[in-house]
């Protein structure tokens, strides 16, 4: 049996960070060797197991990523923190020989390009993953294919009330994929001009003309619908995250793949769609409807 991949988690205080810690600690293919969150937080110095599932794991939560590097060097750092800190962690990771897998939203294009440059320079794998759900990846891919046949498109994304940024990373990534097709959506008829009686009521207009609407409501996890329209018809693609179990196949796929990479890869579809058609990826905790 191969040695397990040594993983550190950034953002251990968040819901996704704690969930991933439980997932990694219960999987023989991985070994959790470090965790950290906000410097100076009250959970620093606690056992990570006590934080995530109430069972001592023998891994103390560090104050910073630098402390993790000094105590038990990981091979991969899985980041669910905030955009600014995630970029700094990715820079430090790559220059220290550690591969970052970033699941944080709100990253700027110039920061992504900088990380890509460092990864190539260091000949190390890195991943930026807007969404680890297999169904969400397929939703974006199906939307990209459908976009060639429709002139109008809007995106509605819905998340829990604790999500800080809007639009979501998945919505922004979907919009960027549609923009890459070089088409302009939602053109007004000649001589017509929309008027917003309340600012923002028509959502955010992206470069391609696609509009994105963000909802934040209690009880939600992560949901997105891409709605296309033509004369006399509507076509929608919707993804529903029912629980966080839906993230496990994608997280495992990314952690195992980044070890073999020598550059930055953006999006899980580069792994999923390159897989053999015979490869089965179990979908749990999510729904995709077309």
Residues noted as catalytic: 159, 163
Q: Quick check: helix, strand or coil at residue 100? A: strand
- Which DSSP state fits 290? -
What are the residues whose beta carbons fall under 8 Å from the beta carbon of 101, sequence distance 6 or more? 76, 77, 78, 79, 126, 127, 129, 254, 255, 258
Q: Which residue has the tokens 């990373």?
A: 169
Alpha carbon distance 211, 9 (integer Å): 34
- Considering only CA atoms, which of 199, 208, 197 is closest in space to residue 153? 208
Do 125 and 263 contact (CB within 8 A), yes or no? yes
Angle at 52 between CA 59 and CA 214, to 5 degrees: 125
Alpha carbon distance 121, 118 (integer Å): 5
* Omega of the bond leading into 167 within 30 degrees of 0 (cis): yes
Do 126 and 99 contact (CB within 8 A), yes or no? yes
Alpha carbon distance 205, 192 (integer Å): 17
Q: Which residue has the tokens 């007004």?
A: 188
Take residue 18 and report the two structure tokens written for it.
Answer: 């704690």
- How many CB atoms sit inside 10 A of residue 199's CB? 6
């Amino acid at each position: 049996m191969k040695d397990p991949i040594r993983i550190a988690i950034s953002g251990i205080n968040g819901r996704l960070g704690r969930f991933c810690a439980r997932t990694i600690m219960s999987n023989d293919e991985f070994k959790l060797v470090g965790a950290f969150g906000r410097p100076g937080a009250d959970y620093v110095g606690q056992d990570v197991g006590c934080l995530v599932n109430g069972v001592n794991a023998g891994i103390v939560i560090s104050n910073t990523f630098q402390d993790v590097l000094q105590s038990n060097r990981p091979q991969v750092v899985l980041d669910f923190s905030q955009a600014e800190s995630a970029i700094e962690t990715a820079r430090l990771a790559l220059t220290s020989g550690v591969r970052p897998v970033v699941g944080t939203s709100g990253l700027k294009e110039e920061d992504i390009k900088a990380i890509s440059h460092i990864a190539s320079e260091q000949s190390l794998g890195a991943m930026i993953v807007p969404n680890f759900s297999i169904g969400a990846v397929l939703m974006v891919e199906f939307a990209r294919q459908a976009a060639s046949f429709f002139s109008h498109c809007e995106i509605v994304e819905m998340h829990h009330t604790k999500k800080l940024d809007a639009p979501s990373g998945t919505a922004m990534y979907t919009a960027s994929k549609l923009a890459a097709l070089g088409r302009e959506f939602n053109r007004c008829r000649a001589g017509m001009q929309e008027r917003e009686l309340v600012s923002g009521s028509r959502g955010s207009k992206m470069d391609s003309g696609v509009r994105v609407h963000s909802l934040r409501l209690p009880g939600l996890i992560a949901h997105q619908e891409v709605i296309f329209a033509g004369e006399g018809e509507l076509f929608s693609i919707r993804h529903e995250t029912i629980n966080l179990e839906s993230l496990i196949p994608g997280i495992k796929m990314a952690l195992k793949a980044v070890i073999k990479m020598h550059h930055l890869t953006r999006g899980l579809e580069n792994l999923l769609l390159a897989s053999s058609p015979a490869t089965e990826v179990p979908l749990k905790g999510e729904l995709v409807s077309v």
